[in-house]
């Protein structure tokens, strides 16, 4: 699966003592010795200082948990770090991309107080906001790229929509997996059951390309950030076609689930795909942990938005980012105070709260 995960933010000096009592806070991805940089080797806590007067040698650290190094989120995390590094002189935040085991493990990391920021899908954000699958202390920052669903079908098949899967051999993904649950929901929306298929396989998603190109399956559904290597490979090497999931079933899903959004795949993104494709999917969603200082989250948000063209160019998966959608779509949790300050500063969030850069420090560093 190309579903990856999260951001983790760190800063200098001591961290365990600063967390709100109700929220655990013990990040563990970077050794404690690395929290102390420059002239921060002393145990003394620096006086509060404003963004415009960052003392020489003081640094903060941002580590991005992101899932498999072959996954989309890993490249997104790396792109975020690269973009943030462009404005280092303004904030003194250093950033690195790290691996994780995916969205589920990143939820667990934040719940345990070990992750300061995570990248998840918008449904995770939604279920956290309504308490169905809570993540204590989770706050929205922004949404990122689309994770649009498509059917990838064999070259000579007569599949032109979801309803055409009846009687076909389809890999729905392993039993109990998120990919299979997603596929079953799609079938149900179009009045289909696994028994209506010619064969409903339960094979890992890693086998999709081999299964389709060898003629063992006729199709597989996938929700992913585009362009995706697995889709490009089967389109290039065995002439696979892409089919959208649009139709009445899709409209019902959009009506039932707020975390889905209508999405369009531009023409010519993949070999042989000469027309736009209409479908639906998630937004990748950036979520911060409440104990993280507003200073760090503010500068992350500001640096990405002020250098959006750079961020888009870092990886193809981010090439279609839309600034307004990054604020308006998929952010179901309340905004983290650092992100909220930036959104207020540019006039998009009008809730009467404080605007502009927060001070670096109000007490000890986290």
DSSP for 106-140, written as a single string? HHHHHHTT--SEEEEEHHHHHHHHTTSS--TTEEE
Q: In the chain, helix, strand, coil percent, each to 5?
A: 35, 20, 45
- Give the pLDDT of residue 107: 86
- Give the pLDDT of residue 120: 87
- Give the pLDDT of residue 60: 84
What does each C-alpha distance from 273 to 51, 58, 270 come to in angstroms?
Answer: 48, 50, 5
Bridge partners of 281, per DSSP, are 148, 261
Query: Who's near 195: CB < 8 A, 6+ residues apart?
Result: none
CA atoms within 13 A on the CB side of 42: 6
Q: Which fold has domain 148-282?
A: D-Maltodextrin-Binding Protein; domain 2 (3.40.190)
What is the spatial distance between Cα 295 and Cα 339, in angstroms, rounded to a whole number?
Answer: 9
Nearest to 315 by CA among 120, 145, 108: 145
Q: Which fold has domain 7-146+284-345?
A: D-Maltodextrin-Binding Protein; domain 2 (3.40.190)
Per-residue pLDDT of the chain (366 residues; tens, 9 = 90+): 333 333 333 333 223 334 455 788 776 655 434 433 333 333 333 333 344 445 456 788 777 777 677 678 788 988 998 999 999 999 998 887 777 777 777 888 888 888 888 888 899 999 999 999 999 999 999 999 999 999 999 999 999 999 999 999 999 988 887 789 899 999 999 999 999 999 999 998 888 999 999 999 999 999 988 998 889 999 999 999 999 999 999 999 999 999 999 999 999 999 999 999 999 999 998 898 998 888 888 999 999 999 999 999 999 989 999 999 999 999 999 999 999 999 999 999 999 999 988 887 544 344
Residue with structure tokens 């997104």? 76
Nearest to 223 by CA among 195, 250, 247: 250
- Helices then strands (H, E): number in the chain? 12, 11
Which structure tokens are listed for 163? Answer: 């309803």
67-82: string of b/e by CB count within 10 Å (b at 16+)? bbeebbbbbbbbbbbb
127-152: string of b/e by CB count within 10 Å (b at 16+)? bbbeeeeebebbbbbbbbbbbbbbbb
Nearest to 143 by CA among 300, 285, 323: 285
User: Can you say whether residue 102 is alpha, beta or left, with left for phi > 0 and alpha for psi between -120 and 50 degrees?
Assistant: left
- Give the pLDDT of residue 145: 93
In the chain, ranges of CATH 3.40.190.10 domains: 7-146+284-345, 148-282
- Give the pLDDT of residue 6: 37
């Amino acid at each position: 699966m190309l579903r990856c995960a999260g951001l983790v933010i760190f800063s200098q000096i001591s961290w365990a003592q600063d967390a709100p009592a109700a929220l655990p806070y013990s990040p563990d991805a970077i050794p404690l010795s690395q929290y102390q940089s420059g002239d921060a080797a002393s145990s003394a806590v620096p006086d509060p200082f404003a963004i415009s007067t960052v003392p020489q040698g003081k640094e903060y650290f941002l580590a991005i948990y992101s899932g498999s190094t072959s996954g989309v989120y890993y490249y997104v995390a790396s792109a975020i770090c690269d973009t943030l590094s462009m404005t280092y002189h303004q904030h003194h935040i250093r950033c690195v991309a790290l691996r994780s085991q995916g969205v589920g493990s990143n939820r667990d990391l934040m719940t345990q107080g070990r992750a300061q920021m995570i990248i998840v899908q918008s449904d995770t954000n939604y279920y956290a906001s309504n308490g169905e699958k809570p993540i204590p202390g989770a706050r929205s920052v922004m949404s990122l790229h689309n994770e649009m669903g498509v059917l990838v079908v064999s070259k000579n098949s007569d599949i032109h929509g979801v309803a055409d899967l009846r009687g076909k051999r389809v890999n729905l993904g392993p039993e109990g997996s998120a990919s299979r649950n997603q596929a079953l929901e799609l079938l149900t929306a179009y009045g289909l059951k696994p028994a209506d298929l010619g064969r409903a396989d339960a094979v890992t998603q890693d086998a999709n390309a081999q299964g389709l190109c060898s003629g063992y399956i006729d199709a597989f559904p996938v929700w992913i950030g585009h362009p995706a290597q697995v889709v490009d490979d089967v389109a290039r090497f065995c002439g696979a076609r892409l089919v959208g999931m649009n139709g009445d079933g899709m409209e019902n899903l959009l009506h039932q689930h707020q975390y889905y959004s209508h999405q369009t795949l531009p023409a010519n993104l993949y070999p042989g795909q000469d027309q736009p494709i209409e479908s639906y999917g998630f937004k990748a969603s950036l979520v911060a942990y409440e104990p993280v200082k507003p200073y760090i989250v503010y500068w992350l948000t500001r640096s990405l938005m002020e250098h959006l063209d750079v961020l888009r160019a870092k990886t193809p998966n981010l090439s279609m980012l839309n600034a307004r959608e990054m604020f308006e779509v998929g952010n179901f949790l309340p905004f983290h105070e650092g992100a909220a300050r930036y959104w207020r500063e540019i006039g998009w969030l009008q809730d009467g709260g404080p605007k502009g850069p927060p001070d670096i420090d109000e007490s000890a560093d986290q």
